[in-house]
Amino acid sequence: MPPTQNLRLTKFGQYGIYLAFLILCIVLAFSTPRFFTVSNLLIIGTQVSINALLAFGVTFVIITGGIDLSLGSMVAVTGVVAATFAHPDTYPLAVPLLAGLGAGLLFGAFNGLVITKSKVPPFIVTLGTMTIGRGLALILSKGRPISNLSDSFNFIGGGNIFGIPFPIIILIVAFIVCAVILNKTVLGRYMYAVGGNEPAARASGIRVGNVKMWVYTICGILSAMGGILLTARITTGQPNAGAGFELDAIAAAIIGGTSTSGGTGTMTGTLIGALLIGVISNSLDLLNVTSYYQQVVMGVIIIGAVVLDGFGKKD
């Protein structure tokens, strides 16, 4: 492939998502007047918040050359753990929050520990922990939803501050923190180095195992945030919650330009990828299109993003 053509494909792979998102929004603005109403935009932001949190976490993982299929199960088990301590007049709000986040931290750290110490591929390890997490959620909840949660806990998923839904505020804060970690810290630089060339990173003195431990732990914490947010939104701890969430999160990261081979990705791209998925879902609802088509559209977009990523790497 000529260098100039390769350069064009690489640039399109980097910035095409922004153009696609802009074009989609313009088309929807003309297709349905309800799309650009304040209420609908807030609905999109609220719906996107959970997927975006998971996508931020898995972006770290994919940049290092890994994958995490246990995200949905972590959402379920951390949501159940948080709901267990969120009954009114039982514990202060900090207890269910710390319990849920702690469960996510331990789950993510366990993923990282097994992957780094056993040398088993992340796909296999997280496929196993996906099943473990779902089983733990069912055991802890005894297979039943946990309800009667406190108003202060439910506010996390359904409240608002100055008219802005609280999930959107959490999303914005999480995005800023993740972007700073990836772009402004030594750990972020190490992530790119490990994903770009792991043997070279190890030879240069980077403790690859420690980097992966941090990455999967952070991913677990962000998944726990998503689990707490979902539990607070639906006001119950559901052991079957989060099924398939890992696929949407991975899709958002890939669509946003995170390379499946590692070493490339941005939090801004992942956010746009999550928003694109949310806008597509919302637009299909507004246009009264059956939700079945959403899966087809998302599959085509994911394949297209991966194909462009592959073209961008060819000489």
Torsion 18-23-28-33 (CA) sign: positive
Structure tokens at 88: 């009114």
Give all strands (DSSP E) within the chain, no chain letters.
160-161, 164-165
Query: CA dist 204 to 64, 190, 264, Å?
Result: 16, 11, 19
Name the DSSP class of 32: -
Query: CA dist 283 to 32, 101, 112, 297, Å?
Result: 8, 33, 38, 12
Specify the CATH number for the domain of residue 12. Answer: 1.10.3470
Residue 141: which residues within 8 A CB-CB, separation 6 or more? 80, 83, 84, 237, 239
**pTM summary value:** 0.90
Number of domains in the chain: 1
Of 216, 245, 225, 214, nearest to 96 by C-alpha is 225
Structural domain span for residue 226: 3-313
**Side chain identity, residue 280:** I
Structure tokens at 257: 């330009």
Identify the three-state secondary structure at position 237: strand
**Tens digit of each residue's pLDDT, the chain (315 residues):** 444 444 444 455 556 778 878 888 888 888 888 888 899 899 999 999 999 999 999 999 999 999 999 999 999 999 999 999 998 888 899 999 999 999 999 999 999 999 999 989 999 999 999 999 999 999 999 989 999 999 999 999 999 999 999 999 999 999 999 999 999 999 999 999 999 999 999 999 999 999 999 999 999 999 999 999 999 999 999 999 988 899 899 989 998 889 888 888 999 999 999 998 898 888 888 877 776 777 787 777 777 766 766 665 554
Identify the three-state secondary structure at position 7: helix
Say what the pLDDT of residue 13 is: 52
Say what the pLDDT of residue 257 is: 86
Say what the pLDDT of residue 4 is: 47
Structure tokens at 243: 């099924």
Give all strands (DSSP E) within 112-171, no chain letters.
160-161, 164-165
Say what the pLDDT of residue 131 is: 95
Say what the pLDDT of residue 204 is: 93
Say what the pLDDT of residue 33 is: 80
